[in-house]
């Protein structure tokens, strides 16, 4: 197979587990894959991957000027690079240059919706900004008849609003050997992994830890990290809530399998949050650890099939405390959830999802 695919993202190539899985699977399937991202480091270094990686240097680290600068740089990079067979826009923040270049160079285009971008909390709380992204979404998504997304809820909404029929390719973790071979640490801890961002309920989780009988380790960084430090000091939790920094995916997996339980909380504001199906949900399942997560449709759908988590409706500190202590103090409940993780990981895994991914691109090129 000699087809070339260029995937375009704005985020960190080192830590984007979904893109690592997608690009690796397609490269191994015989496609020529390139992943293009953004760099704010003058001397960036990336781990070796089986696919090509390219970083576009940007001066702005965040905000509207970052998006403007990156989209301009991405447009000129795509317009002058060797012509690929397909350009893939990952979320709305790369969709404009991908669309323009695909039209100018008669290149195929695909949309991969990791999020319902215009419904993210960070966008919702700024109505003028949301109106811009909503316009982008209404104009461009219908012009991407070929695409896929991460959850059934988002797929159904896109079909209803924009008339596009996107298959679902979930962010499921790669199935490896059973996590039962790993020994749990003799100092058990609760784990939060992923972006330390606004909307991830850390303002409720950290105060809740005052009355939870186990420490919390937070792995990751983001725009809420400084607020976390303030909350930890405010509640005198310096010895109980530990900010562990950000790890590469491989190192994070080794930490996750040794945790007692995982935490995956999202504030129930906006359609994107309500329809979310986070990487960490599957990471915890594959690590064989029960978790506390939200009673949202996608999590409930899987939990109804395999009870792997305690679900809560609202991120209330009292409810979080009660739920975490229930996991800690109820060995029967914990054992049942742990056993169900082993069953669920054999059903929800990347080996099954990548079959859908390969089938999508096989069908796409067959039609072109």
Q: Over the stretch 80-125, which tens digit does the pLDDT of each residue have? A: 999 999 999 999 999 999 999 999 999 999 999 998 988 887 788 8
Q: Which residues contact 34 (CB under 8 A, 6 or more apart)?
A: 4, 5, 6, 7, 51, 52, 53, 54, 84
Of 295, 335, 291, the residue nearest 311 (C-alpha): 295
Domains held by the chain: number: 2
Residue 13 has pLDDT above 90, yes or no: no
pLDDT on residue 273:
86
339 in the same domain as 196: yes
Q: Reading across the β-sheet that carries 4-8, which strands appear in turn?
A: 52-57, 32-39, 4-8, 86-90, 108-113, 147-149
Q: Tokens 């919702």 belong to which residue?
A: 124
300 in the same domain as 227: yes
Residue 366 has pLDDT above 70, yes or no: yes
For residue 14, name the pLDDT band (cuts at 50, 70, 90): confident
Of 199, 69, 65, 72, the residue nearest 123 (C-alpha): 199
DSSP string, 178-219: -GGGSPPPSS--EEEES---TTSSHHHHHHHGGG-SS-EEEE
pLDDT on residue 58:
87
167 in the same domain as 213: no
Q: Over the stretch 196-249, which tens digit does the pLDDT of each residue have? A: 988 899 999 999 999 999 999 999 988 899 999 999 999 999 999 999 999 988
339 in the same domain as 200: yes
Report the mean per-residue pLDDT for the chain.
93
Q: What is the mean pLDDT of residues 146-161?
A: 96
Q: Over the stretch 242-288, which tens digit does the pLDDT of each residue have? A: 999 999 888 999 999 999 999 999 988 888 888 989 999 999 999 99
Q: Which residues contact 112 (CB under 8 A, 6 or more apart)?
A: 7, 22, 88, 89, 90, 91, 147, 148, 149
115 in the same domain as 208: no
216 in the same domain as 331: yes
Parallel/antiparallel/unpaired status of strands 261-264 and 291-294: parallel
193 in the same domain as 154: no
322 in the same domain as 361: no
Domain that holds residue 130: 4-172+350-367
pLDDT on residue 44:
63
C-alpha dihedral (148, 151, 155, 158), degrees to nearest 10: -100
Give me 46's structure tokens: 């990336």
pLDDT on residue 283:
95
pLDDT on residue 61:
78
332 in the same domain as 184: yes
| DSSP three-state, residue 271 | helix
pLDDT on residue 199:
83
Q: What is the mean pLDDT of residues 317-338?
A: 97
Read off the DSSP letter of residue 148: E
pLDDT on residue 183:
59
269 in the same domain as 162: no
Q: What is the mean pLDDT of residues 134-138?
A: 95
pLDDT on residue 248:
86
Q: Is the Cβ–Cβ distance between 185 and 149 less than 8 Å?
A: no
Q: What is the mean pLDDT of residues 318-326?
A: 98
Rounded distance, CA 8 to CA 77, Å? 11
Q: Tokens 């960084």 belong to which residue?
A: 221
Cross-strand bridge partners of residue 38? 56
Alpha-helical regions (H) of the chain: 17-28, 63-80, 95-104, 121-124, 127-140, 152-162, 202-208, 225-234, 249-256, 271-274, 279-287, 297-305, 317-329, 331-345, 350-367
For residue 17, name the pLDDT band (cuts at 50, 70, 90): confident
Q: Which residues contact 355 (CB under 8 A, 6 or more apart)?
A: none
147 in the same domain as 11: yes
Say which CATH number the domain at 340 has: 3.40.50.2000
158 in the same domain as 33: yes
Cross-strand bridge partners of residue 241? 216
Rounded distance, CA 344 to CA 307, Å? 9
Share of the chain above pLDDT 70, in %: 96
């Amino acid at each position: 197979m000699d087809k070339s695919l260029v995937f375009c993202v704005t985020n960190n190539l080192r830590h984007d587990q979904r893109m690592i899985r997608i690009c690796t699977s397609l490269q191994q399937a015989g496609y020529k894959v390139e992943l293009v991202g953004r760099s704010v480091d003058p001397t960036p270094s990336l781990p070796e991957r089986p696919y090509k990686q390219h970083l576009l240097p940007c001066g702005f680290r965040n905000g509207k000027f970052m998006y403007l600068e990156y989209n301009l740089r991405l447009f000129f990079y795509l317009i002058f690079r060797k012509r690929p067979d397909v350009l893939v826009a990952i979320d709305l923040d790369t969709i404009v240059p991908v669309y323009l270049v695909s039209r100018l160079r008669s290149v195929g285009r695909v949309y991969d919706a990791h999020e319902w971008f215009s419904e993210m909390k960070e966008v919702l709380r700024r109505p003028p900004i949301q109106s811009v992204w909503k316009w982008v979404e209404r104009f461009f998504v219908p012009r991407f008849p070929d695409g896929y997304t991460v959850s059934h809820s988002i797929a159904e909404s896109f079909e209803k609003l924009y008339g596009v029929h996107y298959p679902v390719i979930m962010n499921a973790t790669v199935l490896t050997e059973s996590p039962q071979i790993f020994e749990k640490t003799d100092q058990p801890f609760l784990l939060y992994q992923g972006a330390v961002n606004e909307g991830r309920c850390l303002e409720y989780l950290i105060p809740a830890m005052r009355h939870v009988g186990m420490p919390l380790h937070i792995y990751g960084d983001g725009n809420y990290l400084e607020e976390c430090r303030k909350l930890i000091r405010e509640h005198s939790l310096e010895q109980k809530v530990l900010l562990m920094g950000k790890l590469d995916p491989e190192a994070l997996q080794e930490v996750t399998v040794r945790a007692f339980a995982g935490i995956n909380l999202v504030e129930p504001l906006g359609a994107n949050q309500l329809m979310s199906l986070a990487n960490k949900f599957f990471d915890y399942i594959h690590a064989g650890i029960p978790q506390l997560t939200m009673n949202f449709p996608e999590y409930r759908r899987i939990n109804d099939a395999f009870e792997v988590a305690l679900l809560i409706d609202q991120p209330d500190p009292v409810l979080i405390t009660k739920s975490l202590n229930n996991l800690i103090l109820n060995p029967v409940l914990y054992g049942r959830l742990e056993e169900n993780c082993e069953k669920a990981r054999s059903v929800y895994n990347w080996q099954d999802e990548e079959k859908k991914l390969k089938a999508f691109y096989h069908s796409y090129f067959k039609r072109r």
